[in-house]
């Protein structure tokens, strides 16, 4: 026993201090749970930014960056906190790229990140509540708030000539925030919301929920849920009972697995997810190989990781307290515009005392307390595929 402890102690010491400037970034996303089909590509996006920085050799005088994955589960706050705690105390990460879903992001921020003073940049937490949350200046997001998504949904529906909609949302911070924002904006635009009701994830049967929604009526059903979970169940049950035949799919519902599971009945449904047709996005698509570059929040993940490293470079420190004040500076004007694939160039400009304005893959422009202003991609489902209509 003694020998084992000795051996363990020796290995830890050997593995411990590498170079002083080396940085570690925790990539905490829901690799299991309701958005598990989206997260591998998101993590790959963040890791691509890290690899790019390492390849440039320009990060803080030749230091390297390591990404360490941890599972946020998307819904289980206790498990997410434990994972974040492990990243910070045992893996000693300097910053966190994540988390993904709004509920676990809030929980990690309040219970772990703030307690340990570690910067978090989320690529996908969109709850409006996160705009005003107390965060000690540690929290940023490269995704827009759902207050913005609500406006976009209302505009898209109006442009389609849809005047009445029923809304169902997954019963958590993300779903509730988004549904309320959509309802407010539809009503402000003169439309009607026939019903705004929650559904629970992980049930076998959504017949009763759909029955209630069907009685309320409406030309379209807005499903503010998760594609691998209740959202899919609601759509299936609606189609089966003929309650609705057209759906609006917000960001959490867009993924290849949905049309595959539902089949041709989903054709004609519409949706929208954060996205941009900026030159940065096209460059990002060219750079990506081995994973899907146009999945939800994949460009945002690349940008979140890139922002962390640029801010570290600007502060010339991997300490969160030092570089948290630099995130807004590297993300916004003034300075030279930085697109994907130019992280090495950006690092050199910063090291030389210059200014950068990080545009990245998702046209990053941080507003308010540090969240993306938000441009959205409107999509329609045709022949079982998501087709981009335009950008808003």
Partner 1 sequence: MTDILNTLALIGNFIIVPGLAYGSQLALGALGITMVYGILRFSNFAHGETMSFGAMATILITWALQAQGVSFGVLPTALLALPFGILITIALCLFTDRLVYRYYRSQRAEPVTYLIVSVGVMFFLGGLIRFIIGPNDQIFSDGTRFIMKVQAFKEMTGLSEGLAIKTSQGVTIITAIVIVTLLFWFLNRTRTGKSMRAYSDNEDLALLSGINPERVVMIAWIITGTLAAVAGTLYGLDKSYKPFIFLQLLLPMFASAIVGGVGNPLGAIAGGFVIAFSELIVTFAYKKVLAYLLPLSMAPEGLMQLLSTDYKFAVSFLILVIVLLVKPTGIFSGKTL
Q: In this structure, what are the phi and psi dihedrals at residue 372, rounded to the nearest 5 degrees?
A: -70, 145
By the rule CB under 8 A, 192 interacts with partner 1? no
**In whole angstroms, what is the distance from residue 228 CA to residue 340 CA?**
30
What residues from 226 to 245 belong to the interface with partner 1 (CB under 8 A)? 228, 233, 240-242
- Write the DSSP symbol of residue 342: -
By the rule CB under 8 A, 384 interacts with partner 1? no
Using CB under 8 A, pick the residue from 121, 156, 157, 214 that binds partner 1.
214
Using CB under 8 A, pick the residue from 158, 160, 203, 246 that binds partner 1.
203
Integer angstrom CA distances of residue 357 from 331, 370, 378: 5, 14, 27
Nearer to partner 1 by C-beta: 198 or 282? 198
Nearer to partner 1 by C-beta: 191 or 340? 191
Stretch that binds partner 1, among 11-19, 200-208, 316-324, 384-392 (CB under 8 A): 200-208
Q: Is 5 in a helix, a strand, or coil?
A: helix
Neighbours of 64 (CB within 10 A): 16
Q: What is the smallest separation between the CB atom of 221 and partner 1, expressed in angstroms?
A: 14
By the rule CB under 8 A, 199 interacts with partner 1? yes
Nearer to partner 1 by C-beta: 234 or 338? 234
Spatial contact of 68 and 87, defined as CB atoms under 8 Å apart: yes
Spatial contact of 91 and 114, defined as CB atoms under 8 Å apart: no
Using CB under 8 A, pick the residue from 51, 114, 133, 216 that binds partner 1.
216
Q: What is the smallest separation between the CB atom of 170 and partner 1, expressed in angstroms?
A: 12
Using CB under 8 A, pick the residue from 6, 19, 188, 208 that binds partner 1.
208
- Residue 28's Cα: distance from chain center in Å? 11
Spatial contact of 350 and 336, defined as CB atoms under 8 Å apart: no
Nearer to partner 1 by C-beta: 200 or 286? 200
**CB burial of residue 111 (10 Å; 0-12, 13-18, 19+):** middle
Spatial contact of 127 and 174, defined as CB atoms under 8 Å apart: yes
Neighbours of 306 (CB within 10 A): 31
Q: What is the smallest separation between the CB atom of 214 and partner 1, expressed in angstroms?
A: 7
Nearer to partner 1 by C-beta: 37 or 64? 37
Using CB under 8 A, pick the residue from 21, 40, 137, 207 that binds partner 1.
207
Positions in the binding site for partner 1 (CB under 8 A): 171, 195, 197-200, 202-205, 207-209, 211-212, 214-217, 228, 233, 240-242, 261
């Amino acid at each position: 026993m003694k020998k084992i402890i000795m051996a363990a102690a020796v290995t830890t010491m050997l593995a411990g201090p590498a170079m002083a400037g080396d940085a570690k970034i925790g990539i905490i996303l829901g690799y299991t749970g309701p958005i598990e089909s989206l997260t591998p590509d998101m993590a790959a996006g963040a890791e691509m930014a890290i690899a790019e920085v390492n390849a440039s050799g320009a990060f803080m005088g030749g230091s390297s960056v390591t990404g360490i994955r941890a599972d946020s589960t998307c819904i289980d706050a206790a498990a997410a906190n434990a994972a974040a705690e492990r990243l910070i105390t045992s893996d000693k990460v300097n910053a966190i790229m994540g988390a993904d879903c709004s509920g676990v992001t809030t929980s990690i921020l309040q219970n772990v990140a703030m307690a340990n003073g570690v910067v978090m940049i989320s690529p996908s937490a969109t709850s409006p509540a996160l705009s005003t949350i107390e965060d000690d200046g540690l929290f940023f997001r490269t995704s827009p708030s759902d207050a913005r998504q609500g406006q976009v949904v209302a505009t898209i529906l109006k442009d389609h000539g849809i005047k009445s909609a029923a809304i169902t949302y997954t019963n958590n911070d993300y779903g509730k925030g988004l549904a309320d924002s959509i309802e407010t904006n539809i009503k402000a635009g003169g439309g009607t919301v026939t019903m705004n009701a929650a559904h629970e994830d992980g049930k076998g049967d959504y017949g009763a929920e759909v029955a209630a929604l069907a009685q309320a009526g409406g030309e379209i059903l807005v499903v503010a849920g998760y594609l691998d979970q209740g959202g899919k169940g609601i759509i299936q049950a609606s189609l089966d009972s003929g309650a609705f035949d057209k759906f609006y799919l917000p960001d959490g519902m867009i993924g290849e697995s949905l049309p595959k599971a539902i089949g041709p009945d989903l054709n004609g449904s519409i949706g929208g997810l954060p996205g941009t047709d900026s030159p940065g996005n096209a460059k990002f698509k060219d750079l990506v190989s081995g994973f899907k570059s146009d999945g939800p929040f994949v460009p945002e993940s690349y940008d979140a990781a890139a922002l962390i490293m640029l801010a570290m470079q600007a502060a010339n420190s991997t300490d969160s307290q030092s570089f948290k004040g630099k995130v807004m500076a590297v993300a916004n004007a003034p300075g030279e515009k930085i697109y994907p694939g130019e992280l090495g160039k950006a690092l050199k400009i910063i090291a030389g005392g210059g200014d950068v304005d990080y545009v990245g893959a998702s046209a990053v422009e941080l507003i308010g307390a540090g969240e993306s202003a938000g441009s959205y991609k409107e999509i329609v489902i045709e022949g079982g595929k998501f087709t981009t209509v335009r950008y808003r």
